Amino acid sequence: MPKLYTRDQGSKTRFYGDLRDIGGGQVALKPEGSSRATTDKAVAVRLLAEKTLALGGGLPAGGSVSLSQFVNKFLADNPGDVTERWLRETRLRLGRAVEFFGTDRDLASIRPKDVRAWLNEYLHLSASNQRHHLHAVSGLYRYAQELDVVPVGYNPVAGLYRKPSVVKKKQRTDDFFEIDVAALFLEAATRLDRSPEIIGTFLLTGGRRSEVFGLLVGDIDLDNDLVRIQPNQHRGLKRAWSERVVPLWPQLREILEPYMKAHGGGAGDPLFPGKRGSPAPPL
C-alpha cells in the first residue's frame, strides 16, 4: 500500500511517497513547477494519490483500502454529473477528512464515533457547511459500496444519531384569543345579531375561511359532538393533510344546534349558504 512519509531538510519537513508495494519507488512529492518536495501535507496527499493512480494501483486487488487511496479514486472517477465547483469543494472537504484520520487509515475502519470526532473539529463552521462536509464523506462511502470496497450499507455518516440541521426554527408569533376574549366576541355577535354561528365556528374550530364557509350540514355531527373538516363537492382543502376532525365544543353546539334547526337543509347542503371562502381547487 502506498505510504506517505517525511524527511527533515534543513528547517523544513518535506513529504515523500513510498510506492514500492504497487511497483513504484520512493519519490519526492513535488508540485508542478517545483524542484523540491512539498511541505504541504494536503498537497502531498493529492500528489501521492495521483502517482498511485498513474501506476494502475488505484485499488489493491484484495485487502484493505486506505482513505487517501479511495478519496483520490473517487475524485478521479468523478461519479455522476459533477461540476468543477463540486470537484474543488469536495476535494477540500475530503482532504480535511484525510488530514484528520490519516492517509493510511483503512476506509472500512472509520466508525460513526470517528466521524463525530472529525465533525467536532469544525463546529466553528455554519450548520450548512458542516452538512456539506458530511455529504462529501457520505458520497465517498456510497461509491465505496458500489465498488464492493466496503459492505453494502456501510456508511459511518448514516450512523450519526444527530446531524447539523439547516432548518431555521421559526419563532411562533401567532396571536390567539384567550377564552374570556373569545367569549366577549360571541356575546357581542349574539347581541348585535352579527352571525354568531359563523363567528363561533371560526373561534371554536380554528378553521380557515374556505374551510368554515365550505362546511356542509352533515359535517356537524351532533350525535358525536364532532366537526368534520373535509373536502366536498363545493371546495377542496389547502393540503391533503388538512382534513381533520375537531371537537364540537358545548359553546359552539349551543349556537349551531338551533341555527341548524331553523336553517334546515340536507346533509349535503352548505351550512352557511351564500358565504364564500378563499378559492380552492375542485375535487
Q: Tell me: do 138 and 200 sit in the same domain.
A: no
Range of the domain at 212: 179-263
pLDDT category of residue 133 using cuts at 50, 70 and 90: very high
pLDDT band at residue 166 under the 50/70/90 scheme: low
pLDDT at res. 124: 82
Give tens-digit pLDDT for 5-57.
899 988 899 999 887 776 678 889 998 888 899 998 878 877 876 776 666 55
Does position 253 have pLDDT exceeding 70, yes or no? Answer: yes
**Stretch 219-239: mean pLDDT:** 78
Question: Rounded CA gap, 120 and 160, in Å?
Answer: 12
What average pLDDT is seen over the chain?
80
More confidently predicted of 8 and 84: 8
CA separation (Å) from 179 to 49, 186, 225? 70, 11, 20
Q: Are residues 142 and 184 in the same domain?
A: no
Q: Is the Cβ–Cβ distance between 44 and 15 less than 8 Å?
A: yes
Which among 19-33, 67-81, 185-199, 202-216 has the top mean pLDDT?
202-216
Parallel/antiparallel/unpaired status of strands 220-221 and 226-229: antiparallel
- CATH code: domain of residue 211: 1.10.443.10
Residue 66 inside a domain? The answer is yes
| 142 and 20 together in one domain | yes
46 within some domain: yes
- Residue 280: its pLDDT value, please? 40
Residue 16 lies in a domain: yes
Flag whether 58 is in a domain: yes
The per-residue pLDDT for range 271-281, each reduced to its tens digit, is 888 766 544 43
Strand 26-28: give its sheet, edge to edge. 3-9, 12-18, 26-28
Pairing mode of beta strands 226-229, 244-247: antiparallel
pLDDT at 139 over 70: yes
**Number of structural domains found in the chain:** 2
Query: Is residue 61 domain-shared with residue 126, that is, in the same domain?
Result: yes
Give percent of the chain with pLDDT exceeding 70: 79
The residue with greater pLDDT, 186 or 253, is 253
Task: For residues 135 and 67, state if they share a domain.
Answer: yes
SS3 7: strand
